[in-house]
Amino acid sequence: GAVVSQHPSWVICKSGTSVKIECRSLDFQATTMFWYRQFPKQSLMLMATSNEGSKATYEQGVEKDKFLINHASLTLSTLTVTSAHPEDSSFYICSARPPSMVAEQFFGPGTRLTVL
């Protein structure tokens, strides 16, 4: 149980284009999902908390107009990187917390974004 999927697993795009990443909880409903960013050889950095039916909560320093988050249903959250630039190239990982659990988050496999 507690399986989270992400799509796509990798994407290469041109500078200035927008990229959408999907995160799905496959066997549970998640009112809260989380989006992280990870640079090579570094830990996970939380970007935002995605809440079903309401606005996402962004961490300090994360531009909400650049990283658009939509949590449209209890099993799907999307992250759109708008007007992507090479410095946005990174590994983006989502996670979801089953409603029966207080702390545990289950992670998707990640999406490798490369902006040319």
Partner 1 sequence: GQQLNQSPQSMFIQEGEDVSMNCTSSSIFNTWLWYKQDPGEGPVLLIALYKAGELTSNGRLTAQFGITRKDSFLNISASIPSDVGIYFCAGHFGNEKLTFGTGTRLTIIP
Measured distance CA(45)–CA(28) in Å, rounded: 24
CB of 16 to partner 1, least distance (A): 26
Please identify, among the stretches 12-20, 40-48, 70-78, 80-88, the one whose residues bind partner 1 according to the rule CB under 8 A: 40-48
Please identify, among the stretches 13-21, 65-73, 78-86, 106-114, the one whose residues bind partner 1 according to the rule CB under 8 A: 106-114
Which is nearest to 2 in space by CA: 101, 110, 76, 112? 101
- Is there binding between residue 45 and partner 1 (CB under 8 A)? yes
Phi, psi angles (nearest 5°) of residue 39: -90, 160
- Is there binding between residue 100 and partner 1 (CB under 8 A)? no
